[in-house]
Structure 1
Amino acid sequence: MKSDYPLPPGLMKRENFVSAWPGRIQRLDTVSSTQEEAKRLAENGAPEGTAVMAEEQTGGRGRMGRKWHSPRGKGIWMSLVLRPELPLSLTPQLTLLAGVAVCTAIRTVTGVPAGIKWPNDLLAGGRKICGILLESSFREGGLHYCIAGIGIAVNLTEEDYPDELKTVGTSLLIEGGGIPVDRMRLAAAVLTELEYLYTLYIAHGFQPIKVLWESMSVTLGRQVSVNSSRGRTEAVAVGLDEGGGLMLRSSSTGEITSVLSGEIELI
């Protein structure tokens, strides 16, 4: 798979990358949540790179406990075991990394011009096409493992969405003009991109991911409304800081601050 990366010179090229993950994928029919299945495998010692995929989730969830719509045979509902040696403060960077990987795979495989909305959504045509959920487990004071959950609306039609999601959700089928997408080909591309970018991240830190994320963002340069622990504010999103926080320029004072977590709405 070929990707046009705006990466700094001197880094390993995509075509020279050799996979080291075990390629262990557990394919299931109906589950409550691939996140829970991946957690169970991780607790039992599953190696990094182990993935769980399901045809259908009955209890899929997104950030902040929101329900994730996961109809049978229509999407990619997947969770991946990661075991990085990172401090807790850096784990949000993995969410941004996963966003870049999925966005790249979607663009490459389908041609749909997806973009990343901070911190964990992908949009196409202004509507949500993918959500990413990263959950971490700690043991003896350190990071034990992370589970990266990825939900991509692949071949859903307008009729597959409940009324409350019709105006906010879309799919690759809809955005691609009604052309069905090979889910297994896309899932394989996502896993390959994830491992490649994860390898870059472990070797070179956050900077390569930051460059890629900013190039694919639909958030930067936009006026946004931010709900965070400090309340609700309006500002212009101007970039990512070195930790992965969203840098915001105040609409009233011009002051630049960063938020590491929260919800934003594009204005």
Structure 2
Amino acid sequence: MADDDPRRTPLHADELRSLLLAPDGPLDHFEVVESTESTNADIVADLEADIAAWPGVGVLVADHQTAGRGREGRTWETPAGTSLTCSFVVRPQVPADRLAWLPLLAGLGAVNAIRATAGVPALLKWPNDLLVPAEDPLEGWGPVRKVGGILAQAVPTPDGVAVVVGIGLNVSQTADELPVPSATSLALAGAQHVDREAMLVALVAALAEIADRWRDADGDAVAAGLAGDVAEVCRTLGTQVRVSLPGGTDLEGVATGLDELGALLVEDAAGQTHRILAGDVHHVRDLG
């Protein structure tokens, strides 16, 4: 796909504002920038300089992100016009121990938006990768490829915490534009429509609906029914996994479920269940 493909045109900021900003949309603050290194880093810096810089619920979208941030300081870049890269600012008034659900809930919203808008059966890999089916299995991934990722960062505020939730989604990259074999794009996954603006509007709507349910349940994802929704789209569950834990150790076992706070439960060969709060998960094989 050439760089002058009409699907790689710049985002129409004014049209998006009219759709997404209150009173017609769910957002209090919305900005589009032509290019930046990292939308997450930009918002975190803004909040640290002035906590009122991003009031209410806000979104920053970059038409081109040149040094996106991932877990453990990893960086990535995509060709201009090929990806949806955005960061949400939320101030969840829920108990602190329930904030661990945020990456999973953001993933659920992204999965719902991809399925509704692109017609691709997206899935979630615990805790923050977005997957789509692939024809050929790949070691550590199985018959799926990564189409996007999520990064949540907390910023302390005088009345609690603001959380910046970054979402990066590969939309129209060709195979030779992908950085690693485990990556793909919605276009390569057979998307019915490849439109960054439609995807953004669907993503904002999906996350707003999830946020309302979560808030109304005081952050209790189980009571809100969101824990069950996440489990239904989480491909990690029910697979043989290897988890690379902080500190350099590995754990192998079967991912059996999520606990009430979103931690991954892994049962090892001895039948002991481990509660995983952080780590890189590799899908070794499907069971059954």
State how far apart, in whole Å, the 2-side matches of 1:261 and 1:88 are: 17
Please report the RMSD computed on the Cα atoms of aligned residues, expressed in angstroms. 1.9
Shift of 1:159: 1.7
Gaps of 5+ in 1: 1-17
Gaps of 5+ in 2: 1-22, 134-143
Residue 93 of structure 2 corresponds to residue 80 of structure 1 = no
Identity among equivalent pairs (%): 32
Give the alignment of 1:127-206 within 5 angstroms. 127-139=145-157, 143-162=160-179, 165=180, 167-176=181-190, 181-204=194-217, 205-206=220-221
State how far apart, in whole Å, the 1-side matches of 2:80 and 2:25 are: 31
| 31-40 vs 97-106, greater mean Cα deviation | 31-40
Q: Deviations over 1:141-190 (max 9, x none)?
A: x632000000000111112123xx1x11000000016x551110011100
Q: What code does the residue aligned with 2:203 have?
A: V
| 60-69 vs 31-40, greater mean Cα deviation | 31-40
State how far apart, in whole Å, the 1-side matches of 2:132 and 2:27 are: 32
Name the structure 2 match of 1:240.
Answer: 258
**Cα–Cα, structure 1 residues 19 and 86, in superposed 2: closer, same or farther, change >3 Å?**
farther
Shift of 1:38: 2.2
- Answer yes or no: is the 8 Å Cα contact 1:19–1:195 preserved in 2: no
TM-score, length of structure 1 as denominator length: 0.86
- Answer yes or no: is the 8 Å Cα contact 1:38–1:51 preserved in 2: no
Q: 1:21 aligns with which of 22, 26, 35?
A: 26
Q: 1:30 aligns with which of 23, 35, 44?
A: 35
- Answer yes or no: is the 8 Å Cα contact 1:158–1:170 preserved in 2: yes
**Cα–Cα, structure 1 residues 253 and 122, in superposed 2: closer, same or farther, change >3 Å?**
same
Give the alignment of 1:58-73 within 5 angstroms. 58-73=66-81
> How many residues of Structure 1 are paired with residues of Structure 2 in the alignment?
244
Name the structure 1 match of 2:122.
Answer: 114
Secondary structure of the residue aligned to 2:163 is strand
Q: Deviations over 1:32-66 (max 9, x none)?
A: 11112222444341223210001111221111111
Q: Deviations over 1:102-137 (max 9, x none)?
A: 000001111111110000001112110010000001
- Answer yes or no: is the 8 Å Cα contact 2:28–2:55 preserved in 1: no
State how far apart, in whole Å, the 1-side matches of 2:56 and 2:107 are: 19
